[in-house]
A and B are shown apart, each in its own frame.
Chain A
């Protein structure tokens, strides 16, 4: 018998891979989140999570850290992207590349370099929250610059000319043309920075003198002690991510995230 070759079947290995290593793990998390140690259906993890004041205060701290990190990243990245995107320089791509290059050094080595710098200026162990936010901004800045730069580059130059022909000054042009048209970039930059700054505990551990706890660290700690609670925290994060992605249209086919098509 000769099998009829169809290009569709080439996708089967990847489909199987996705089922085993993406879908089933998510289902396992869902199962553990809503069961207790005897594997009975239970909502105690959920209730316990939201009724423990120390946990809630950590979550608030973590959200504040993530919020400040995202705001600082935006405040630095927006002008950088704007200046580069509107510059008439021929080699501006090289400067953009300079902003991305440090990202290719191993992430832990990069954080270690900041650790050495902070210890040199005497801040390590002294200003734990500042150090954590400094490290996160340092690390996630390119994730903010790239989407902003790409959306701003797409803004039609004739819109700026039209705006100034019609008598708008530089400030009005910025608020009426640049700002609204760059919003998709702002949205994707925020989602790409906010989530890691809530969950990437490597930065807070290495720079916060292990005194700064963020939500990601919870999951790590529960992995050693209580899988059910750990799964609940993971599930909550998963739902938050899904909702924000769905709301910003990130599940659409053509969207490229995290500069995948750099």
Chain B
């Protein structure tokens, strides 16, 4: 390898490294300060777990974390069922029905979130529906379900259709053939749809604000209000978010790494 090629290689690695460093700088900064006894980043202090104990002893914060997780699991589970059935139904419908449903299902994906949120909110108010947990759940399902359909659809297309026919010929009822033949083949799509739905719901701010019942906070709305509106009672609440960010980051790292390891093990077994 000549010198020019080595220089180019180093430049490429340096570029990737700098972008990654910028990407992780804010998170690492909070992770470091989550263990330092100060409420202002940049000032010094001793080692402490206070930010973590502040977080776990703040009843409001614990409620909003519970709310966020509960809502994410509920809306992801419902979206997965609705979206999987929807994808199967669409796949076996006439082409015109399939393309129409596909296009409508695409609207919440391409639309600006604020437009989806405003449209839902105005509809609920115009039809006299008070904002409840139900409206919030529907709001989250609107943003999650189309992604489930998008994840399941390709698996249906890859599926071997003759297996279903064979099951019927061998005397299985259509419902049994659906559960025993079609569903097992599309499970990877269902799982990735469910995971996607969970992350979308966990991440959402805008739709939540427009459809939630009053007094219901998720991580997104709670943190936004605390930082912008100054609703935080003390600087303690703000610095406990450093701990929350760090915990979430560590959980994500563990999940990513273990998913990666599991994937590699599977590949090795297949070899």
- List the B residue with the shortest CB-CB distance to A32: B122
CB-contacts of A55-113 with B (<8 A): 76, 79-80, 83-84, 87, 94-95, 97-99, 101-102, 104-110, 112-113
Given contacts A106-B220, A116-B29, contact A7 B112 (CB under 8 A): no
A94 to chain B, nearest CB (A): 7
- Counting CB contacts under 8 A, is B60 at the interface? no
A5–B27 Cα distance when bound, in Å, is 53
- Given the known inter-chain contacts A109-B244, A112-B241, please indicate yes or no for A250 contacting B110, CB distance below 8 A: yes
CA distance A219 to B173 in the complex (A): 52
CB pair B118–A113 under 8 Å, yes or no, is no
Nearest-neighbor residue (CB-CB) of B31 within chain A: A113
Partner of A234, one of B93, B118, B241, B252: B118
Q: Which residues of B have CB within 8 Å of A205? A: 224, 228
Q: Does B128 contact A (CB under 8 A)?
A: no
Residue pair A29, B122 in contact (C-beta under 8 Å)? yes
Give bound CA distance, A215 to B134, whole Å. Answer: 29
A contact residues around B26 at 8 Å (CB)? 110, 113-114, 116-117, 138
- Within the complex, the shortest CB–CB distance from A36 to chain B, in Å, comes to 15
Interface residues of A in 117-143 (CB under 8 A from B): 117, 119-120, 138, 141
**Across the interface, which residues of A come within 8 angstroms of B74, CB to CB?**
none
Q: A11-B93, A22-B107, A257-B109 are in contact. Are A28 and B114 (CB under 8 A)?
A: no
A130-B210 Cα distance, complex, nearest whole Å = 28
User: What is the chain A residue whose CB lies nearest that of B210?
Assistant: A223
A119 to B182 alpha-carbon distance, docked (Å)? 54
Chain A residues whose C-beta falls within 8 Å of the C-beta of B90 in the assembled complex: 11, 14
B30 touches A15 (CB 8 A): no
The answer to whether B89 touches A10 (Cβ under 8 A) is yes
The answer to whether the Cβ of A182 comes within 8 Å of any Cβ in the partner chain is no
Collect the chain B residues with CB atoms within 8 Å of residue A230's CB. Answer: 118, 122
B160 at the binding interface (Cβ < 8 Å) = no
Closest to B85 in A: A10
What are the residues of chain A within 8 A of B192 when measuring CB–CB? 261-262
Bound Cα distance from A205 to B229, whole angstroms = 10
With A28-B119, A250-B106: A106-B219 Cβ-Cβ less than 8 Å: yes
Q: Which of A106, A138, A202, A251 has the most CB of B within 10 A?
A: A106
5 contacts between A and B (CB under 8 A): A14-B85, A14-B105, A21-B141, A29-B115, A106-B220
The 7 closest A-B pairs by CB, nearest first: A11-B89, A14-B86, A25-B119, A113-B26, A10-B89, A199-B112, A7-B92
